[in-house]
Amino acid sequence: MGYTPDVFGGVHRQAENALAQAEAQRYQGEAAYLTLTANVAAAAIQQASLIAQIKDAEALAASDRKTLDTLRRSLQAGETAAADVAAQEVIVAQADQALPPLRKQLAQQNDLIAFLMGRTPADGPVPTLDLDKLTLPADLPVSLPSDLVRHRPDVRAAEANLHAASANVGVAIAARLPTFPLTANVGSQSADLGRLFSGPNVFWTLTGAVAAPIYEGGQLKHKQKSAEALLDQAKAQYRGAALAAFQNVADSLQALAGDARTLDAAVAVDRAAGRSFATAKKQVDAGESSILPLLTAEQAQLQARSAVTQAKAARLADSAALFQALGGGWWNRTDFAEATPAEGKPAVQR
């Protein structure tokens, strides 16, 4: 029976290195899952936005054609110049021209959603969302920097890699130090078979030794230096991951602040366009104005509504990006639970 005591902790650090590598792999898998879910959310929001934009563009094109028909009747009655009709024909053509690119983008977006769902485009239509039914959360999960570092799976993976690199330095140092193997022998001997296992015939020995590397040509020393260099690299990567996390959150918050201002401005324009349309309609109903100002006001209202649609979609997309930057809430998922391995570092287990 032989045993080598882990006097300088080399075996312990090897086990610590293996646990840290397993932890890093778990967080890398969770980071991939977070990226996938964030891409699905962004694709669904963009799909809903394109559907709404197509509806607005179709309504605008219909309004432009209605205006063109009115101008043509006025031209026949001698009340409108031919140049006005030609100008309106250009507007109608431009409105019709805007629809095919939007429809192409929607088709490609549906293909992207099918791909993210693990399907092919030929498997059937993908689910669709109504942009007006999507709402922002009441409270955004803005957290302290310490919580951000703890929640971001990419930062946690970098932290685990740093832990593994640190343990690997300990393994390299222990490899340069002596080991103390112990060997024990237990048995019995006797010239008489009947007395083989009697007390006086039982023997045991315990032998200790010291084994130390004598000459390795500097190999062990350079292995230690290599491990220390990898530790410095892991430190830099961890710092870079943490700084990138802070930047992502700051960028998302700045984008949301800008989106809020853009949406407020778009809503103000939409309300003003609505009031203009209502005024023009009253004038037409009272016989105080022709229908052309009403059609022009309707076109302005439809354009303003399209701007509101795009602003809403941008705000929803940036909100999803903020959730991703904050870690995505993976620690609240029912199929994951917090665990604490032997080294005291929190990990995620399936």
In a domain, 307, yes or no: yes
What stretches of the chain adopt beta strand conformation (E)? 2-3, 182-188, 202-208, 337-339, 347-349
pLDDT of 5-27, one tens digit each?
A: 665 677 788 888 899 899 899 88
Stronger pLDDT, 201 or 243, i.e. the higher one:
243
CA distances from 81 to 76, 77, 106, 303 (A): 10, 10, 39, 26
Question: Closest Cα to residue 4, out of 172, 253, 174?
Answer: 174
First to last CA, the chain: 39
Mean pLDDT, residues 307-323 taken together: 92
pLDDT at residue number 340 = 39
Question: Closest Cα to residue 37, out of 149, 113, 109?
Answer: 113
In a domain, 202, yes or no: no
Expressed as residue numbers, the domain containing 23 is 2-188+218-332
In a domain, 109, yes or no: yes
Instruction: Give me the helix-helix angle, 219-285 and 153-175, nearest 10°.
Output: 180
- In this prediction the pTM is 0.74
The band of 188, judged by pLDDT with boundaries at 50, 70 and 90, is low
pLDDT at residue number 36 = 92
CA distance 162 to 226: 14
pLDDT at residue number 302 = 87
| Among the ranges given (162-166, 213-217, 306-310, 311-315), the one the predictor scored with the smallest mean pLDDT | 213-217
In a domain, 208, yes or no: no
In a domain, 205, yes or no: no
Which residue is it, tokens 């989106």? 259
Q: Tell me the percentage of the chain whose pLDDT exceeds 70.
A: 79
pLDDT at residue number 145 = 66
pLDDT at residue number 114 = 93
CA distances from 21 to 35, 193, 286, 301, 330 (A): 21, 55, 79, 58, 20
Q: Is the pLDDT of residue 152 over 90?
A: no
Question: In three state form, how does the secondary structure of 77-134 look?
Answer: CCCCCHHHHHHHHHHHHHHHHHHHHHHHHHHHHHHHHHHHCCCCHHHCCCCCCCHHHC
The CATH number of residue 326's host domain is 1.20.1600.10
pLDDT at residue number 312 = 92
Under 8 Å between Cβ of 220 and 244 = no
pLDDT at residue number 343 = 40
pLDDT at residue number 67 = 85
Under 8 Å between Cβ of 234 and 161 = yes
Number of structural domains found in the chain: 1
Q: Tell me the percentage of the chain whose pLDDT exceeds 90.
A: 30
CA distance 48 to 54: 10
pLDDT at residue number 345 = 42
In a domain, 324, yes or no: yes
Question: Closest Cα to residue 13, out of 236, 224, 233?
Answer: 224
Mean pLDDT, residues 232-244 taken together: 92
Mean pLDDT, residues 289-301 taken together: 82
In a domain, 232, yes or no: yes
In a domain, 239, yes or no: yes
Q: Which two tokens stand for residue 85?
A: 């009709």
pLDDT of 60-105, one tens digit each?
A: 899 889 888 888 888 888 877 888 888 889 888 988 999 999 999 9
